[in-house]
Each structure stands twice: as structure tokens, then as C-alpha cells.
């Protein structure tokens, strides 16, 4: 029973609670003793969460008794444990205490870094009270830095949360700090009003420390405006309450307790030594010898103690410095992670905002090219279409790089025919090759099996990028694609893929930076051949994900060879199971288009017009609404075949509207016609109940095939029924 985990946890929690009680009653030495007992129990039980809490509480106590360096050491231990076990709530508290330590040491910028790290954790865990208190401390730090505008903004955020959730203690302290800020900004009337409001809350709730701060603040404010009588009254209240608080606060007595405790131990030890010496002196034959030896021993011990003292001081200084640097590095890491997350969110938002107008650019340019434009307009429209396609490719490349850097790319292995897959890639790129008068040769090792299990989509992306690069930089030449085995262990094959061309080649200097983002041969090459310089960076990232390696050999004016090695698992499955949409390959005359009803849900007027024109060209009729609420009402009152649903709209979103529709119609075909990043939102779309997703901007042919496919499927199901 003694080793029962529940009993052990209860014992630990009991001592932690006792420590917090002693802390609230200013008995800091007793609080430390209870924490030491809890620490011993937590170490024995190997209870990581409790260990983190205990070290954090020790840090808080050490801060109060002005042992900041010890506090940093304790907090670093707490943070190290809490990061490993993902105890985000307590990790946020440790960061906040770290900020308080730095604030006490007047290291204001380090304090701000710590408070920001704490805010990030509290926001993740939705801990509003802790967030409000951290914002308040951040505001106080800006006051110390004399950045009063920023202090006002941050304290207002804290105050808003405190008022929403009735955190009266934070509310009163925030109002009093607000008074200080408004005074510094020259608005004494506002300063007096908010200061008095904070003071009244502190008085009503008996928050004595905050009340004392309020008295002093209002005394200073009234003194500044020349109201000396009221100022004196508040000052007297401050002095009276200060004396009362000092009588309750027993910091000195607690330190006396600790000192007396240690002194008693030393006196007891010395008494024992004296007793032994007195007994030895009774022996006359040994008396003189003992005296000499005692003097010698004391001298040696004194020298040894001095040496140990100096070494200990050096070690403590070094440890404190290391702990401080370690804390700074952890906070820097948190800042880097937060910056990375912010960058990812920024890119997601920007790309959505770019895709929406791109839908208009590509859609309108396609329509105008199909509406018999004037001969002199054709080239302009083709240039417009090319620019739209180029910008879309650029956006997609940036998104891919962002996903690779954020480790959001998942491997999706499936069985497929490698030889057939590469033949399809060659066929797809053949037209581009012929434009440059380039011949593509494909060599597949005869001894190599064809069926493997791997992420065929990523292998295709890699080869399309590499072969596309070779086509771009080769005129009137040849490209060779070769695949052969370099190692076989059981079913696992390591294959080498080579893409060789006899194009312009790459200088040795440029080869060193080939796989960096936005890296190309030169600005002149970029202008002449086009491209964003992201293709090879994507290739390198994908090959790393597939646990492979890539190399390059090249010589100017003679050509370039890229070769990469990746592991693939051999399988006996004859064909790949490709999860692709089965496009409609029949005749649209087989579908009764007159009876088809389509609802377009889109708030952008230009996009409404483009989608309607595409549907009209397909001989389909549609209704249009511009928000989710109207869409749900229209679907309830009409019998639609297909819904084209935008995602971001005023009122309820397309996802929320689809969830409502699915509550009364499970079979209706609903396409998400959206500009959001599909890969990141796929799970959300599936949960909402979308039939399929058509990302904007899309290729018109692909859009038409998906619609006809859905209509043909509906028609077939009706016939079978």
C-alpha cells in the first residue's frame, strides 16, 4: 500500500497545498520545507508533472525572497520537464514567473519575451485568468520602459478579459496601472477616474496590497493636479495600510527562522567536537600530540574550506550564467516557433486572397479567348492567361515549400506500377519537349520489377520538376531518364533515378546553391527561361521526406545530370490503386440537361458572373445566392442536383451551411468551390460532408468533367432505382 501511486500522489499534492498555504501567509521558509518534502516524494514516484510544479513554486518563492539567480535555476528545471511532457498550462505559468524574475532584475526585454511565451501557452489552453494577469504584467513592463502607448494597449486587453470573466483582483490592479499610464500620457481626468474605480474594487474586495498601491497612486495623481489636501489624505491611508501589511509580512522573521535553524545545527556540531577534545585532554600522554594535530588539522581544513568556497562561488556563477542562457535559448525557440506559425497562417491567408482574384483573371481570359476576340487582341489575352497561370504556379510552389518547412507533408504509400507511372510522365511532358525540339529517352532496367509500394504522387512531383527543368534549359537536344537498382535487402529496393540532358549546364559556383529557395543560375537566366527558383528546393524537400538523397553533376555548355536515390518496397500487386476521380467519358447528350438544377453559393459578384458563364456554356441553368443562410433556405425549398458552395462568406461559412444541409439531406451533391489551401482543410471538408472539392482557380475542362461525372452518376443511380 505504501507504494500505491494514488496514495503517493495524494501525499505530494497535500504538501504542495501546505506550501501554497504557508506562501500566502508569508511563511516562506516553511513553504520551502514543504516543497522539499514534496520534491523527495515526487522524485521517488518519478512524477514528472508534480516535479515541474514543485520547481516552479520554488522559483516563485525564491523570487519573493529576492534570490533571483536561484529562481532562474528552479524555473529552468520546471520548464525543461514541462516542455518534455507537454504540460502547457503549467509551462505558461513558469514562463510568466520567469518574466516576473526578469522584471525584478530590471531586464525588461527578457521579461517581455517570457511574457509573450506565457501568453502563447495560455491562449492555446484557453486559460483566460492567467492570460489577463500576464497581459497586466506585460503592461507594467512597458510602463518601466516608458512606452506608455503600448502599456495602455496591453493593459486594456487585460482589463477587457478581467471584466468579461469578473476577475476583480486583476481588474482593480489593471485600473490602477491604467491611471499611471493615463497620467503619463497627460490625461489626468481619465487617470483619476480609472484610479478611483480600481481603488473602490480593491477596497470592496479587501485586496490590501492593490489597495495600498491605489492609495499611493491616487496620492501622486492629486499632488500632480495641485489638490494637496486630497493627496495628503490618500498618503496617510497609504502609510497606515503599509504599516499594517509590514506587520503581517514576516519575510525577516522567516529568514531569522532559517538562520537560527542552521546556527543551532552548527552549535550542536561544535559542542560535540569540544566534548571529544576535552576527553582527549584527560589523557596526559596524548594531550600535547592532540593539540598539535588539532592545530594542523584546523589549518588544513581552513585552507581546504577556503579553496572549496572559492571553487563553489565560481561554479555557482557559471551555473547561474548557463541557466540564464538556457532560459533565453528556450524562449528564443518559442519565439521562433511562434514566428513560424505566424508565417504559415500569413501565407495561408495571403494565398487565399490571391487565389480569389486569380479565379477572375484566368476565368475571364479563357472566356474572352473563346468568344472570337479581334486578331490584335488574341496575343494580349494569351499573355494575360500565361501570367495568371504563372502566378498560380508560383503560389502553389510557395505553399509547397511552406508545408515542407513546417513538417506538414505526410507520406502516403500505395502500390503502383513504377514503369507505367514514368511512361505517363514522359507522355505528359512530350509536347513541351517537342516545342524545344528535344527528344526524351526512357531506360528502365530489365532486371528491375515494376510494382512497388511508395508515395507515387511525390515521386511524380520530383520527376516532373527535374524533367521539366531539363526541357526548359535544353534546345535541340536530348534528355535521358534512367532507373536501376543499387541495393536490395529483402523486399526493400534502393533505386537510383537519373535525369540527364545536354543543355546549357550549370557552373560549379551555382551548383553549391542549387537546392536553396529562389536559387537560379543568374538573373539573366531567370529572365530568359522563366521560373521561380523554387522547383529544386521542393525536389530536395520531397526527397528528404522520402528518406533519400539527391546529387547533381554538370558542366557548362555540355549538360546536367540530376540523380537521386530513394528506398521503395517491392510488391506483387499488378496495378496501382489510384484514388482518382472517375471523370465522365461519355456523351453529355445522354444526360437530360434541361431538368438539371444547380445552385451557386458565392458572395463575390465577379466570381458569380464567371461561374454562371461557364455553366451557361455547358448548357446548364443555375440559381445564385451570396450567403450561407439563403443557400440553406433555397435548398430546403428546391430540388437541386448540385450545389457549388464557396467557403468564406458573410454570415455562416460554406462549411457551416453544408453541415446544416447534411442534417436534412445526406445524398445531395455538394462541391466545395474554394480558394483555401485544400491539403490543410481536407479533414474539415470531409467532416462537413462535402462530396468533392474543386479548388479555385481551376482548369475549365477539369471543372466540366467533374460536373458531368456527378450528373451522370445521379442519372445512373436514378435509372437503377
- The DSSP code sequence of 484-523 is EEEEEETTEEEEEEEEEE-SS---HHHHTTTTSTT--S-H
Please give the distance of CA 252 from its chain centroid, rounded to a whole number: 45
In the CATH hierarchy, which top-level class contains the domain 588-720? alpha beta
Q: How far is CA 206 from CA 104, 168, 198, 211, in A?
A: 26, 11, 12, 8
Give the chain's largest Cα–Cα span: 129
- Beta-bridge mates of residue 441: 480
Identify the architecture of domain 290-408 in CATH: Orthogonal Bundle (1.10)
Same topology, domains 31-105 and 127-247? Answer is yes
**Domain limits of the chain?**
31-105, 127-247, 290-408, 414-570, 588-720
Stated as kind and residue range, the H or E segment containing 600 is strand 597-601
Is 527 strand, coil or helix? helix
Q: Do residues 671 and 705 lie in contact, with contact meaning Cβ atoms separated by under 8 Å?
A: no
pLDDT of residue 260: 46
CATH number of 31-105: 1.25.40
Q: Count the Cβ atoms, other than its own, within 10 Å of residue 393.
A: 15
- Rounded to whole angstroms, the Cα distance separating 315 from 118 reads 30
Q: Are 583 and 705 in contact (CB under 8 A)?
A: yes
Task: Tell me what pLDDT residue 326 has.
Answer: 67
Nine-digit cell string for 600: 451557386
The fourth-level CATH superfamily of domain 127-247 is: Tetratricopeptide repeat domain (1.25.40.10)
CA distances from 331 to 80, 109, 111, 326 (A): 12, 12, 10, 9
CA–CA distance, 619 with 595 (Å, rounded to integer): 11
Q: Please, are residues 138 and 96 in contact by the beta-carbon 8 Å criterion?
A: no
Q: Which residues of the chain register pLDDT less than 50?
A: 1-2, 250-267, 269-270, 274, 277, 520-529, 575-584, 678, 721
The CATH code of domain 414-570 reads: 3.30.565.10
Amino acid at each position: 500500500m505504501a507504494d500505491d501511486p494514488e496514495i503517493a500522489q495524494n501525499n505530494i499534492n497535500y504538501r504542495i497545498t501546505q506550501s501554497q498555504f504557508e506562501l500566502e501567509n508569508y511563511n516562506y521558509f516553511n513553504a520551502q520545507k514543504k516543497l522539499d518534502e514534496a520534491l523527495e516524494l515526487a522524485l521517488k514516484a518519478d512524477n514528472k508533472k508534480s516535479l515541474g510544479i514543485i520547481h516552479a513554486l520554488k522559483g516563485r518563492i525564491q523570487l519573493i525572497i529576492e534570490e533571483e539567480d536561484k529562481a532562474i535555476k528552479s524555473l529552468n528545471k520546471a520548464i525543461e520537464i514541462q516542455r518534455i511532457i507537454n504540460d502547457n498550462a503549467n509551462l505558461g505559468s513558469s514562463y510568466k514567473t520567469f518574466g516576473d524574475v526578469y522584471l525584478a532584475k530590471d531586464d525588461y526585454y527578457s521579461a517581455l519575451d517570457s511574457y509573450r511565451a506565457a501568453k502563447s501557452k495560455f491562449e492555446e489552453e484557453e486559460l483566460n485568468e492567467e492570460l489577463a494577469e500576464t497581459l497586466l504584467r506585460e503592461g507594467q513592463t512597458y510602463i518601466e520602459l516608458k512606452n506608455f502607448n503600448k502599456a495602455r494597449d496591453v493593459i486594456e486587453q487585460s482589463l477587457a478579459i478581467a471584466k468579461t470573466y469578473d476577475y476583480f483582483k486583476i481588474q482593480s490592479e489593471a485600473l490602477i496601472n491604467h491611471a499611471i499610464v493615463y497620467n503619463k500620457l497627460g490625461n489626468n481626468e481619465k487617470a483619476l477616474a480609472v484610479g478611483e474605480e480600481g481603488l473602490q474594487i480593491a477596497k470592496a474586495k479587501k485586496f490590501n496590497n492593490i489597495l495600498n498601491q491605489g492609495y499611493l497612486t491616487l496620492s501622486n495623481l492629486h499632488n500632480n493636479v495641485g489638490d494637496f489636501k486630497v493627496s495628503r489624505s490618500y498618503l496617510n491611508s497609504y502609510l497606515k495600510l503599509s504599516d499594517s501589511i509590514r506587520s503581517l509580512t514576516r519575510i525577516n522573521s522567516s529568514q531569522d527562522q532559517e538562520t537560527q535553524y542552521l546556527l543551532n545545527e552548527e552549535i550542536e556540531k561544535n559542542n560535540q567536537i569540544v566534548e571529544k577534545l576535552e576527553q582527549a585532554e584527560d589523557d596526559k600522554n596524548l594531550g600535547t600530540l592532540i593539540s598539535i594535530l588539532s592545530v594542523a588539522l584546523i589549518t588544513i581544513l581552513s585552507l581546504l574550506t577556503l579553496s572549496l568556497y572559492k571553487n563553489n562561488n565560481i561554479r555557482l556563477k557559471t551555473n547561474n550564467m548557463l541557466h540564464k542562457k538556457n532560459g533565453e535559448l528556450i524562449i528564443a525557440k518559442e519565439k521562433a516557433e511562434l514566428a513560424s506559425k505566424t508565417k504559415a497562417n500569413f501565407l495561408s491567408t495571403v494565398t487565399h486572397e490571391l487565389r480569389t482574384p486569380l479565379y477572375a483573371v484566368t476565368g475571364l481570359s479563357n472566356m474572352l479567348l473563346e468568344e472570337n476576340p479581334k486578331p490584335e487582341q488574341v496575343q494580349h489575352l494569351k499573355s494575360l492567361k500565361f501570367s495568371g497561370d504563372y502566378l498560380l504556379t508560383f503560389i502553389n510552389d510557395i505553399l509547397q515549400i511552406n508545408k515542407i518547412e513546417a513538417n506538414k507533408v505526410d507520406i502516403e504509400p500505395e502500390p503502383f506500377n513504377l514503369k507505367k507511372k514514368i511512361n505517363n510522365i514522359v507522355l505528359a511532358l512530350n509536347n513541351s519537349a517537342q516545342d524545344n525540339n528535344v527528344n526524351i529517352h526512357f531506360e528502365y532496367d530489365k532486371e528491375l520489377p515494376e510494382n512497388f509500394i511508395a508515395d507515387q504522387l511525390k515521386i511524380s512531383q520530383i520527376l516532373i520538376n527535374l524533367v521539366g527543368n531539363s526541357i526548359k534549359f535544353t534546345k535541340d537536344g536530348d534528355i535521358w531518364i534512367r532507373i536501376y537498382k543499387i541495393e536490395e535487402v529483402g523486399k526493400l529496393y534502393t533505386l537510383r533515378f537519373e535525369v540527364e540532358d545536354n543543355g546549357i549546364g550549370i557552373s560549379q559556383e551555382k551548383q553549391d546553391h542549387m537546392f536553396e529557395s529562389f536559387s537560379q543560375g543568374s538573373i539573366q537566366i531567370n529572365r530568359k527561361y522563366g521560373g521561380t527558383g523554387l522547383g529544386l528546393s521542393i525536389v530536395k524537400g520531397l526527397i528528404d521526406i522520402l528518406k533519400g538523397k539527391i546529387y547533381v553533376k554538370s558542366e557548362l555548355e555540355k549538360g546536367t545530370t540530376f540523380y537521386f536515390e530513394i528506398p521503395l518496397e517491392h510488391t506483387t500487386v499488378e496495378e496501382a490503386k489510384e484514388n482518382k476521380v472517375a471523370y465522365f467519358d461519355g456523351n453529355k447528350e445522354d444526360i437530360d440537361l434541361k431538368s438539371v438544377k444547380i445552385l451557386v453559393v458565392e458572395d463575390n459578384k465577379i466570381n458569380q458572373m464567371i461561374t454562371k458563364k461557364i455553366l451557361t456554356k455547358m448548357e446548364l441553368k443555375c440559381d445564385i445566392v451570396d450567403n450561407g443562410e439563403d443557400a440553406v433556405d433555397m435548398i430546403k425549398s428546391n430540388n437541386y442536383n448540385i450545389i457549388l458552395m464557396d467557403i468564406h462568406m458573410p454570415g455562416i461559412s460554406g462549411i457551416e451551411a453544408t453541415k446544416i444541409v447534411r442534417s436534412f439531406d445526406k445524398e445531395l451533391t455538394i462541391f466545395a468551390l474554394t480558394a483555401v489551401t485544400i491539403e490543410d482543410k481536407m479533414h474539415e471538408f470531409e467532416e462537413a460532408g462535402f462530396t468533392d472539392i474543386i479548388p479555385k482557380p481551376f482548369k475549365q475542362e477539369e471543372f466540366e468533367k467533374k460536373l458531368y461525372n456527378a450528373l451522370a452518376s445521379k442519372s445512373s443511380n436514378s435509372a437503377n432505382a
